[in-house]
Each structure stands twice: as C-alpha cells, then as structure tokens.
Amino acid sequence: MRICFTLKVRAEMLAEYKLRHAAVWPEMLDALRATGWRNYSLFLAADGLLVGYLEADDLAACCARMKDYPVNARWQAEMAPFFEQLATGGADDNLMPLEEVFHLE
Amino acid sequence: MRICFTLKVRAEMLAEYKLRHAAVWPEMLDALRATGWRNYSLFLAADGLLVGYLEADDLAACCARMKDYPVNARWQAEMAPFFEQLATGGADDNLMPLEEVFHLE
C-alpha cells in the first residue's frame, strides 16, 4: 500500500526543519522501521508544503504502533511547533492520506 | 532517485481527472515504462493538489525521452486543460521536483 500525505511547515522554520530531518534520532528511525514504515520520504517545497510518501500495510496501524514508543512522543512534541494548521496532537495525529488515482509499477 | 512533484487540478475537473487516470492508454503506459518511470503514483487531494511520486535515474532524461513518443504529445495535449497555473507546454514541461529532506529505507 502506497501512502501520501501533506502537511504545512511554517515559512520561518523551513531551514531548521531541514536540519532536524538530516539528523533524525536513531531511536526514532528504529521505531519507524519496527512499526512498518517502508521507503518513507519527506519532500519539502519552497512554500512550506511538506509531502510524505511511504509504503506500509496499514497507515493507521503504523501510527498506532508508534504510540508504544516513548521516543515518538518526544519527537512529535519537538516537531509540532514546525507545522501550521495542526488540530490537536502531533503531526502523526493529523496524517490525511490523499487518494491514489494512478499507479505504474 | 526518488522524485516528488506537485501540480494543481482545476476544481471542476477532479472527477474527470480521476476517470481518465483509471484508464490511461496502454501505449502511454508502455512509453512511461520504456523511458524509465518506476513505481510512479499520482495522488489527488480534495482541493485539487496533485502529488506525483516516482523513482527514476534522472527525471529530466525521463521527460526528454518521452518527447520521442508521439503518444506523449497526444496525452499531454488532452491533460493540459485539467491543470491550473501551467506556463507554456504540458504538465511534463512543468514538473518542479520538491527537495527530499528525509528518507528511510
């Protein structure tokens, strides 16, 4: 299953967002791997549009399993101020997948 | 190399865009395969944001090679009216890759 979601990074925090994602904590990477996030990329546009792409069996299950890893709560708490338009919770509570309308292997 | 680009589909044409992409011409699929587009998905948001994701050795080379396939010109001519904010040419002349800021295998 291929999943795409978008978020919006605050304009004044783009540079810092990039720096932080060039050095994601190893424990966070381990948690992502252990909970089924595969081929996971984040792409950032100049206007702050952030696009996430990953392959997973079930995104909701991946996000739910991440809640078992304390490192996720610490990471999400540090990342939340970077985003515009979050409702309650962290980015991981606000992933709205787009509809896949085409795929070519 | 992982590539992500965005385009904007006109709000009044979203349903038709989805229908057309559920039935892309086989010759167009063959041309994409032959020119190096791999694991290529298009995702559509309710507001018309279109996200493309693919894996390729060189996006510019893929787009250039597609120009050798007459089916591409026919396809792009049919698709161009679906998009907002295109400069000259078709969607394939307006692919601006976003920066990949994170990746996990």
Instruction: Give the 3-state secondary structure of chain A.
Output: CEEEEEEEECHHHHHHHHHHHCCCCHHHHHHHHHCCCEEEEEEECCCCEEEEEEECCCHHHHHHHHCCCHHHHHHHHHHHHHEECCCCCCHHHCCCCCEEEEEEC
pLDDT tens by residue, B30-52: 999 999 999 999 999 999 999 99
Please state, in angstroms and as integers, the Cα–Cα distance from residue A99 to each residue in A26, B21, B31, B43, B59, following that order: 31, 12, 24, 5, 23
Q: How confident is the model at residue A88 (pLDDT cuts 50, 70, 90)?
A: confident
Query: Do residues B37 and B56 make contact, with C-beta atoms less than 8 angstroms apart?
Result: yes
**The one-letter amino acid at A102:** F
Percentage of chain B exceeding pLDDT 70: 99
pLDDT, position A98: 96
Query: Do residues A61 and A92 make contact, with C-beta atoms less than 8 angstroms apart?
Result: no
Whether pLDDT at B92 is above 90: no
Does A9 reside within a domain?
yes
Percentage of chain B exceeding pLDDT 90: 88
- In eight-state DSSP terms, residue B73 is H
pLDDT, position B16: 98
Does B19 reside within a domain?
yes
Does A59 reside within a domain?
yes
Does B99 reside within a domain?
no
Q: How confident is the model at residue B99 (pLDDT cuts 50, 70, 90)?
A: very high
Residue A4: count other Cβ atoms within 10 Å of its Cβ.
Answer: 24
pLDDT, position B93: 83
Residues of A engaging B, defined by a Cβ cutoff of 8 Å: 2, 4, 6, 17-18, 21-22, 24, 29, 32-33, 37-45, 49, 51, 53, 97-105
Query: Do residues A9 and A48 make contact, with C-beta atoms less than 8 angstroms apart?
Result: yes
A40 contacts B103? CB cut-off 8 A: yes
Q: State the DSSP H helix or E strand holding residue B10, giving kind and residue range, or none if neither.
A: none
By the 10 Å C-beta count (0-12 exposed, 13-18 middle, 19+ buried), B51 is classed as: buried
Integer Cα distance of A81 and A47 in angstroms: 17
Whether pLDDT at A104 is above 90: yes
Cβ neighbours of A53 in B, within 8 Å: 2, 4, 51, 53
CA-based nearest residue in chain A for residue B2:
A41
Q: Minimal Cα–Cα distance from A28 to chain B, Å?
A: 11
Percentage of chain A exceeding pLDDT 70: 99
Q: What is the number of domains present in chain A? A: 1
By the 10 Å C-beta count (0-12 exposed, 13-18 middle, 19+ buried), A10 is classed as: middle
pLDDT, position B89: 78
Could you say which of A37, A49, A103 has the minimum Cβ distance to residue B104? A37
Could you say which of A6, A41, A97 has the minimum Cβ distance to residue B103? A41
Does A49 reside within a domain?
yes
Give me the helices (H) in B1-105, please: 14-21, 26-34, 59-66, 70-79
Range of the domain at B25: 2-93
Most confident listed range (A59-63, A86-90, B85-89):
A59-63
Integer Cα distance of B84 and B61 in angstroms: 25
Could you say which of A6, A40, A104 has the minimum Cβ distance to residue B29? A104
Average pLDDT, chain A: 94
Query: Do residues A67 and A33 make contact, with C-beta atoms less than 8 angstroms apart?
Result: no
pLDDT, position A82: 96
Does A100 reside within a domain?
no
ipTM for the assembly: 0.94
Note if B21 is an active site residue: yes
Among A21, A33, A38, A74, the one annotated catalytic? A21
Does B40 reside within a domain?
yes
CA-based nearest residue in chain B for residue A24:
B102
pLDDT tens by residue, A23-54: 999 999 999 999 999 999 999 999 999 999 99
Identify the CATH number of the domain in which residue A86 sits: 3.30.70.100
Whether pLDDT at B95 is above 90: no
